Structure 1
Amino acid sequence: MIINSLFLASGSNDMFTIVLVCFIVILAAVLLKLVKQPYIIAYMLTGILIGKQGLKLITNEDLIKNLGEFGLILLLFFIGMEINISNIFKQWKTALFGTIFQILGSIFLIGLIGLFFNWNFNRILILGFIISLSSSAVVIKLLQDNKESETPVGQSIISILLMQDILIVIMLILSNYLGGEAPSTKDILLQFVGGAFLISLMIWVLRKKEFTIPFIKNLKEDHELQVFIALIFCFGLSTLTSFFGLSAALGAFLAGMLVNAAKYTTWIHNSLHAFRVVLVAIFFLSIGMLIDLTFLFKNWQIVCLLLLSVYLANHFINSIILYAFGRNWKNSVYGGALLGQVGELAFILSTTALTTNVISNYEYQLTIITIALTLFISPLWILLTKKIINF
């Protein structure tokens, strides 16, 4: 009886926390909708409020982070389902050369800052890699919300983001080398095989254009099994890419594009939609919880300087790249704004740089809060750019 009472009390507290978090999300979303801001900002604001810097409703950040990673995978899977793989491959020049120029431009900018602060080459290179990575989760969601993912500039942006997701593997390998922890031959071989497999898979889909997954028609009316099959589609390729040492999010994105090319798979979207809403919200909640207000107030000057430098640099570099690859100035400046923030994959690169002693703990904290704040500011920056362009 006592055990049952304790269990019920604990369960009541957990349920109250869930209800309270949902209420805060709704309140923030409604208020931000009045000023035409996306739900992403509401989720991150809620994360700040409920985390260790606010009401301390949720203190197990590892749990939230793990759930958030599932949310990111689901989000990119859904994004992939709305992307035509042949349209992406038409932008391969923009994707490949644009991303390389973007990375080199970011390293050059960090190099200039590093000369002033007397940073070594390793630190300059890693921080350059970090700020060159934009957010697939934020950018593609905003493109879809604004019905711009199929526009020429939208296709260019998505192709660049996909190329960044691929090149993160090389960045992680270099980060380990710079820290004195060179990956084993087995790891490099696995990544090479995994990359070759994914490229072969995409080429096969491009040639087939449309194909049928065996037995898929038999599930048309079986709504319960549809949920589990849809989860296998989403997390199956993610697990495979993780095994090869590649990004799980990249695997989910490619799985979504495969589903898009396959026949009789429209029910997958409906089967996982509810999971997507909840887990994507948790992902952005976890980003909000990473914003350490104490650290921010203590170092607000350098954080503001970094934010301004990152946004102006990324915006300028990407605008020039998009213009060089055939976009007009209006679309190029808008595309530069879309790619202005630092993306979620930069968290992984920052953690690797810390564990290999390429950056110090202070620089890691500075990097993490800068990444989180660029994600938070991104929708506002894009909206401001859009208004200026239209004006």
Structure 2
Amino acid sequence: MIFINALASEINLLLIVSLVIVVLGLMLRRFNQPYIIAYILSGVILGPHGLSFVTDIDVAQNLGDIGLIILMFFIGMEISLPDFLKRWKVAFFGTGMQVVFSILLMYLLGSFFGWSLNRMILLGFIISISSSAVVIKLIEDQSNPESKTSRNVISILLTQDILIVPMMIVITILGGEALDVKQVTLQIIGGVLIVLTMIYLIKKQKIKFPFEKVLSEDHELQIFAGLIACFGIALITSLFELSASLGALVSGILINASDSNKWLHDSLHSFRVVLISVFFISVGMLIDLEFLMEHWLAVSLLVLIVYLSNHGINAVSLRLLGNNWKESLLGGSFLAQIGEFSFVLATIGLQQDIITTYGYQITVIVIAITIFISPFWVLLTQQAIGYSERKK
């Protein structure tokens, strides 16, 4: 009886979440807005700071992390290494300028407010990372994934994701905590293996996986083969103390170089939709409406500073790298928000006493709100620059 009651409770929760998403999604669809907004609003409404239908944020965040792994896998499947290498200047210089200018901006603000150098660097790292989850979804919904702007933006996002691990190490050092030699050694070995894998892939161009032909004709086994492909390398990279999402990205890049790309993409699409929606719902649950109302002025100013600075820095970077102003401004709008990996950097900063509990809370809510606002910001930029290209 207890099991039946618990099951009924879970079914009710699933029904309520689905109902709220459908209602909000239909409303937003009338205004041509992406479903990301519906997912985040659902998290705000149903989460612990709303109607409290969901109180265990950890469970939602764990499911969201799985969704993020799925998303990174799909991003990898869209990345051709030869094409990425053609844009290496945009990827590395664009990302480098974003990180450097973000730290300089935080240095200027920190000098005015009396922050420590460690805090300036941490916050510079946090605002320099854009959201792969948001941007890829927006590009799919509102733009042409094959356009020059989209490919440049994706190249920068890929490089940002790779930089997460060294950023985590730097923050740990800034916090004064002694480095775990075993952990760093594992990370270096894992990083070297990934680089060697990418070099091998560049030389081979095309690779074949076992049972590829058989699986391409078996739609049931395709689902499980896809999950193995997605989570297998993700697990391996986590054993090397690297991000599981990074492993999923590498796995997707490998799939892109094989003949399995299309059927894997189709077989996992439903998983992708459900789990990515859970990720955005978990982001919405982090928005504490009471905290937001109490500190609305500080939060509003920080969100505005983030958007103007990130948009400006990325637009100028893309312009310096040979894009015209329209392409640069559009690319800057896609990269203007703060990304999901910045939650991890903020958590490490709190653990290392680089930021206070209040600083952590306001950082988390600013990240969540910039993710929520992102579709509106992109649409506003498109209208301002007269953007007319549509997804093909």
Partner of 2:173: 177
Out of 162, 165, 169, the position equivalent to 1:166 is: 162
Is the aligned partner of 1:358 residue 2:354? Answer: yes
- Deviation for aligned residue 1:272: 1.4
User: 1-side partners of 2:231 and 2:33: how far apart?
Assistant: 31
- Deviation for aligned residue 1:147: 4.6
Q: Deviations over 1:218-254 (max 9, x none)?
A: 2223333222111110011111222222222121122
Partner of 2:124: 128
**Alignment RMSD (CA, Å):** 1.3
Q: How does 1:24-39 map to 2 (within 5 A)?
A: 24-39=20-35
- Deviation for aligned residue 1:256: 1.1
Amino acid at match of 2:221: L
Q: Say which SS state the counterpart of residue 268 (structure 2) adopts.
A: helix
Q: Deviations over 1:281-316 (max 9, x none)?
A: 100000000001111111001000100000000000
User: 2-side partners of 1:348 and 1:12: how far apart?
Assistant: 34
User: 1-side partners of 2:274 and 2:49: how far apart?
Assistant: 23
Structure 1 stretches of 5 or more lacking a match?
none
Is the aligned partner of 1:156 residue 2:182? Answer: no
- Deviation for aligned residue 1:265: 4.2
Is the aligned partner of 1:48 residue 2:73? Answer: no
Q: How does 1:303-322 map to 2 (within 5 A)?
A: 303-322=299-318
User: 2-side partners of 1:331 and 1:174: how far apart?
Assistant: 33
User: 1-side partners of 2:331 and 2:193: how far apart?
Assistant: 31
Out of 360, 365, 372, the position equivalent to 1:369 is: 365
Q: How does 1:95-114 map to 2 (within 5 A)?
A: 95-114=91-110
Amino acid at match of 2:33: Q
Partner of 1:76: 72
Q: What number of residue pairs does the alignment pair up? A: 387
Q: How does 1:1-391 map to 2 (within 5 A)?
A: 4=1, 6-390=2-386
Q: Which moved more, 1:350-359 or 1:96-105?
A: 96-105
Moved over 4 A (4+): none
- Deviation for aligned residue 1:9: 2.7
- Deviation for aligned residue 1:181: 1.1
Amino acid at match of 1:194: G
Give percent identity, aligned residues only: 49
- Deviation for aligned residue 1:64: 0.4
Q: Which moved more, 1:43-52 or 1:133-142?
A: 133-142
Structure 2 stretches of 5 or more lacking a match?
388-392
- Deviation for aligned residue 1:33: 0.8
Amino acid at match of 2:314: N
- Deviation for aligned residue 1:146: 3.3
- Deviation for aligned residue 1:11: 2.0
Q: TM-score, normalised by structure 2?
A: 0.96
Amino acid at match of 2:202: L
Q: Say which SS state the counterpart of residue 181 (structure 1) adopts.
A: coil
Determine if contact 1:165/1:247 at 8 Å carries over to the other structure: no
User: 1-side partners of 2:291 and 2:267: how far apart?
Assistant: 42
User: 2-side partners of 1:202 and 1:341: how far apart?
Assistant: 29
Q: Deviations over 1:182-217 (max 9, x none)?
A: 322222222122112112212222221112112211
